[in-house]
Chains A and B, each alone.
Chain A
Amino acid sequence: GQQVMQIPQYQHVQEGEDFTTYCNSSTTLSNIQWYKQRPGGHPVFLIQLVKSGEVKKQKRLTFQFGEAKKNSSLHITATQTTDVGTYFCAGLTNFGNQFYFGTGTSLTVIP
């Protein structure tokens, strides 16, 4: 069945270091969304990518959608303690109407 995997599952970084999480799908995606969930909170929408090779930036966050539309990445430059949380990707397949959430990457930032 459809699977969206994320790596790494956990990441501990020193404050100021960079962080990247990768999202890989077994099938081609029509679009992908990224969400952040703080500890004890609920997922909050960050961004949606639709086009092959698309790159979008939000301040220190850079999102990429692969050329084959089967993978995506989220890169955070110079992490801060406010970046702590679990980052999920959610991919929509070409033939489905539901988003398949990735397994999530839990980010810990050490001050």
Chain B
Amino acid sequence: KAGVTQTPRYLIKTRGQQVTLSCSPISGHRSVSWYQQTPGQGLQFLFEYFSETQRNKGNFPGRFSGRQFSNSRSEMNVSTLELGDSALYLCASSLGWTDSYEQYFGPGTRLTVT
């Protein structure tokens, strides 16, 4: 079974721009969660989608948004990029709600904001 895929793997953007990241979960998985990983803050939860509905949202500003499509693929958008948004963005898929099932992480998208 193919693992979680994320595109693009690397991205360089300028402050003020916006960016869209994509995540394709493992086939059959209905839950997709997004995390931001930085050396200083560790892994921080952004949001979780299950069956196209946002189930939970972390403590991030409204510039961070996401959506999930009917095929469970998910996108994350960050508008008006700031230097502090530079991070590794990881998505994770699971069979069901993440509180009951293990999460499978993708390789991540490394975003650099200059």
Partner of B105, one of A1, A42, A97, A104: A42
Partner of B42, one of A45, A92, A104: A104
Number of interface residues of A (CB under 8 A): 23
Report yes or no: B107 in contact with A42, Cβ–Cβ below 8 A.
yes
Q: Is the interface of B mostly helix, strand, loop or mixed?
A: strand
Report yes or no: B45 in contact with A88, Cβ–Cβ below 8 A.
no
CB distance from B43 to the nearest CB of A (A): 4
Question: Residues of A contacting B105 with CB < 8 Å?
Answer: 35, 42-44
Question: Residues of A contacting B51 with CB < 8 Å?
Answer: none
CB distance from A105 to the nearest CB of B (A): 11
Most buried by B among A45, A99, A102: A99
Complex Cα spacing A1 to B107, Å:
29
Query: 1/0 per residue A35-49: CB within 8 Å of B?
Result: 100000111110010
CB of B59 closer than 8 Å to a CB of A: yes
Complex Cα spacing A3 to B54, Å:
23
Complex Cα spacing A35 to B27, Å:
22
CB of A31 closer than 8 Å to a CB of B: yes
Chain A residues engaging chain B, CB cutoff 8 angstroms: 1, 30-31, 33, 35, 41-45, 48, 88, 90, 92, 96-104
Could you list 20 further interchain pairs (A-B, Cβ under 8 angstroms) beyond the known A103-B42, A104-B42?
A: A33-B102, A33-B103, A35-B105, A42-B108, A43-B90, A44-B105, A45-B103, A48-B102, A88-B43, A97-B48, A97-B97, A97-B98, A98-B33, A98-B45, A98-B98, A100-B45, A101-B35, A101-B42, A101-B44, A102-B42
